[in-house]
Amino acid sequence: MKTILVTGGSGFIGTNFVKYVMTHYPQWNILNLDALTYAGNPENHRELSDDPRYTFVHGDILDAGLLKKLFDAHRFDGVFHFAAESHVDRSITGPEVFLNTNIMGTFKLLEASLSHFRKNKPADFRFLHVSTDEVYGSLGFEDPAFREDTPYDPSSPYSASKASSDHFAKAYFKTYGLPVVVTNCSNNYGPYQFPEKLIPLVILNILDKKPLPVYGKGENIRDWLYVADHCEALAKVFEKGTAGETYNIGGGEEKNNLEVVQTLCDLVDQKTGKNGTSRDLITFVADRPGHDIRYAINSDKTRDEIGFTARYSFEQALSDTIDWYLENLDWVRSIQTGEYRQWIEKQYGR
């Protein structure tokens, strides 16, 4: 048995990863450390409350004392570091929390991991640092996709904070020998995503007959990765990846934002039997400052060295995602608090 620390395991990707591991890796025990900020929901793992392989700890990665206590008590065989502030729009209006969590939090976790690694020398220990393609900056429409050796050029406070944490993680391998692996993924979507992100926001606004905000002309392109594919890739990188290396994880599905919103309109209308078209709700709003025009991921290294290729097509996974939200509206309504409504009005009311 392995005991694995998952930080941020009650957020979107972390939630899906915990569920993936509990199903596909019966030889792993999971300790989920989550601060339960606005996007973390402990109810995501209600079905695991009596499972002896799962432990939840409410705490912050900035708490060095708590980290030491957990590492001493559980002698982790590995770390999956998801915990992060991740919404670009929020980083533009309030960047300081991104420095605290994404940079200082990662530093505290690296320090605790290094102390544990030196003291206990666990076999095959890995610190897997989960990052984003946004650290590479923006591509032109005809530029080749991001590779692992693409120079960093972050545009937002969010991507700058993630770039910094990536560099810290790699430095702890080069300087101290901590077995770190970094992954940079493209835009994730799927169940349990907090509805400030594009796909769940549009789904729910269609259901509520509210405007569907699209930045600028909707021309910005993203590579879309279904979260189940991402979780499979992360587990494989943990097992097969080389310490000190970076692995890009993409879905191979480049779509511009307007195309995504229009597809969502058509699918939701079809599934709900709506008369007319929800495309009439599309509303173009002032563009985000520093909005990167295009992201694209070259995943050849991950395919060749790890043996991972995304399984899900965008169309099928998007349909499955809509089905999940339609079947879990109680979960959605429980997190659409006053703070959430105020944020949406502040961000898109203009």
Active site residue 34: no
Average pLDDT over residues 197-204: 95
Task: State pLDDT tens for residues 127-143.
Answer: 999 999 999 999 999 99
Fold of 2-191+224-252+294-312: Rossmann fold (3.40.50)
Contact 235, 24 (CB under 8 A): yes
Strand partners, 294: 221
47 by Cβ neighbours in 10 Å (0-12 / 13-18 / 19+) ranks as exposed
Distance CA 179, CA 127 (A): 6
Active site residue 133: yes
Task: State pLDDT tens for residues 224-282.
Answer: 999 999 999 999 999 999 999 999 999 999 999 999 999 999 999 999 998 779 999 99
pLDDT score, position 40: 85
Task: State pLDDT tens for residues 201-238.
Answer: 999 999 999 999 999 999 999 999 999 999 999 999 99
Catalytic residue among 136, 158, 172, 215: 158
Catalytic residue among 85, 134, 232, 292: 134
pLDDT score, position 312: 96
Distance CA 201, CA 209 (A): 12
Catalytic residue among 133, 166, 223, 253: 133
CA distance readout (Å), 201 to 7, 15, 92, 147: 25, 19, 19, 30
Active site residue 172: no
Average pLDDT over residues 188-213: 94
pLDDT score, position 348: 63
